[in-house]
Each structure stands twice: as structure tokens, then as C-alpha cells.
Amino acid sequence: MRSYSVADAGVAIQVGSKWLDNLLSRHHVEGVDQGGQGIDRRISAEALERLQIVSALTFGLGVPISSALAITQRLFESADHSLQLGPGLELNLARASLRNHLAAKVVEASDAMHARPRGRPPSSETRR
């Protein structure tokens, strides 16, 4: 299964990688491999969908992150990907549309980002 780095995911869902890294440090998101010390987190395609929804709820509607995560979880658990919030008020997830949008954004992100070398830069052969 395809997975993405925090930097690629941040570009794809249009949030800063610092914001995303902090979210993943403080909250559990299904489909995110937490890695370990010195090992980058890996984000699955489904987790990327979840993070896009959390981002939209947080930045678009001002929903606190913990509540946005709970709403997202309920949307994914629902058979029809919808939540009845009250009389005449329903939240629907167009999952196929979201997948198509993210697939295009991931391609853009991978084109924009390249693997950054880790560690000390190589020493120069010629010094003057």
C-alpha cells in the first residue's frame, strides 16, 4: 500500500508540515505509522483522507482538532459516510471525490518535493 511522508502529506492537503507533525505527535490517526526516533512517519492513503477532512473542519469551520478527529472517525465508521447532526442538518462525505482530489494533489506534491538528504552534507573535494 502506498504511503506518504509528513512533508508530502502537508503539501497535498495544503497545511504546514510543522502543523501536521504536531497533530500527529499529539493525536492518534488511523493509518499513520508513527515510526520512531530518527524514522520518518508514514501516512497511508486513507489516513491522508482523514487528515484532509480534519484540516477542512479545523481551518474551514473552526472545529477544534480533537473534535474534528472524532467527527472524521464517525464519518468513516458510517456505512454511507454521513452524519445526521440534527433535524435537517446532515454532514456527507463524498469519498470518491475526495480520493480523486487527493490523488491529483499527491502527484503535485511528489513533483514539488524531493527526498531531502539526512545527516551532515558531504565534504567538498576541493577546498580553497
**Domains, the chain:** 3-112 (1.10.1660)
At 84 the three-state DSSP class reads: strand
Mean pLDDT lowest for which of 52-56, 67-71, 115-119, 121-125? 115-119
Residue with the bigger pLDDT between 106 and 78: it is 78
pLDDT bucket at 67, cuts 50 / 70 / 90: very high
CB 113 within 8 A of CB 10: no
At 96 the three-state DSSP class reads: helix
pLDDT given at position 28: 92
In this prediction, residues 86-91 reach a mean pLDDT of 92
Q: Judge if pTM exceeds 0.85.
A: no
pLDDT bucket at 106, cuts 50 / 70 / 90: confident
- Exposed / middle / buried, residue 61 (Cβ in 10 Å: 0-12, 13-18, 19+): exposed
